[in-house]
Amino acid sequence: MAALPPLTPSQRAEALEKALATRRERADLMVQLKSGKLTLPALLAREDDVVARLRVRRVLESLPGIGSIRAGQLLNDLSIAKNRRVQGLGEKQRAKLLDLFPPRD
């Protein structure tokens, strides 16, 4: 594995700013899920890097009424690895998740 090239101070500052913006957007998505403003089907329908890099367990724990233990049980029941990211979900796993949390009208 090759070493990363050294960054200039301005490149480093830009990268840090970009990472902070991404973390803030992910946190905002989790707050929206917890409050019910955003549904799981709506989140999974998004095809951007921010959603793709979220861990499925964190997403489940952000849903109303689901805590750490229940999220772990759901992952186990659905045969989803505990460290799986949204982008790594298979079609069947995604379909099972959507069956458990259907869109609200």
Q: Which domains does the chain have, with CATH numbers?
A: 39-105 (1.10.8.50)
Considering the chain, what is the average pLDDT of its residues? 92
Q: What is the pLDDT of residue 105?
A: 58
Residue 90 identity (one-letter amino acid): G
Taking CA atoms, 44 is separated from 3, 11, 68, in Å, by 34, 32, 20
Structural tokens at position 18:
């970009």
More confident residue, 21 or 4: 21
The alpha carbon dihedral of 57, 64, 90, 28 has a sign of negative
Q: Which band of pLDDT confidence, cut at 50, 70 and 90, is reported for residue 33?
A: very high
User: pTM of the prediction?
Assistant: 0.84
pLDDT band at 3 (very low <50, low <70, confident <90, very high): confident
Q: Return the bridge partners of 85, or none.
A: 55
Does residue 20 carry a pLDDT above 80? yes
Distance CA 34, CA 64 (A): 5
